Amino acid sequence: MASTIAISTLRALRRVLRASDLGGRRLASATGLTPSQLLVLQEVERRAEATPTVIAQTLHFGQATVTNISDRLVALGLLARRRGVSDRRTMLLTVTDAGRETLDAAPDALQGRFLRRYAMIAPWEQAMILAALERLGDILGEGVDQPAPLIDAGPIDRPDPETV
């Protein structure tokens, strides 16, 4: 039989997983996007225009992942691509009017809520949370060594929010 503290830990972990799942469902319902697609769209909007390489570096996503996500966002009419003026090999991404409307319709992303609230706690508590979560990752022993900093359980370049 599991100890009381182990059961409480599992419950806390379940709350985190549930928050991630519900946040993704709310986002999908409002916009039809996955959390990673929303982050790419937000980052392009923040920069006005950007290359996929810059977006990948900023979000700590793989280059191929950002290319796949941006392909989907272009197909949905939320992003547009154009060649660079000074270097025609450069591909620049910009947010379309439909993309801006989608951003306006998007609920507060779990990612943003976490970052705002996490920044409000003391550095020692932030370090304690980080250490506990890293240890939990070691205990569970699943996943990649350097996952993208994204609160989402599915593959980050999945085609639609319902695919896990």
> What does residue 102 show for φ and ψ, rounded to 5 degrees?
-65, -40
Helix (H, G, I), strand (E, B) or coil at 3: coil
Report residue 94: phi and psi, to 5°. Answer: -135, 155
Residues pairing with 83 in the sheet: 91
* Other CB atoms within 10 A of residue 44 CB: 27
Q: Please report the pLDDT score of residue 164 as a whole number.
A: 47
What DSSP designation does 152 have?
-
> Can you spell out the DSSP letters for 4-60?
HHHHHHHHHHHHHHHHHHHHHHHHHHHHS--HHHHHHHHHHHHHSSB-HHHHHHHHT
Q: What is the pLDDT of residue 109?
A: 75
pTM attached to this predicted model: 0.75
Report yes or no: 63 and 52 within 8 Å, Cβ to Cβ. yes
Fold of 11-140: Arc Repressor Mutant, subunit A (1.10.10)
DSSP 120: T
Domain definitions of the chain by residue range? 11-140
pLDDT in tens, the chain (164 residues): 678 998 898 899 899 889 888 888 888 888 999 888 999 999 999 998 999 999 999 998 988 999 999 999 999 999 999 987 887 788 899 999 999 999 998 887 787 888 899 999 999 999 999 999 888 888 887 655 555 555 565 555 656 665 54
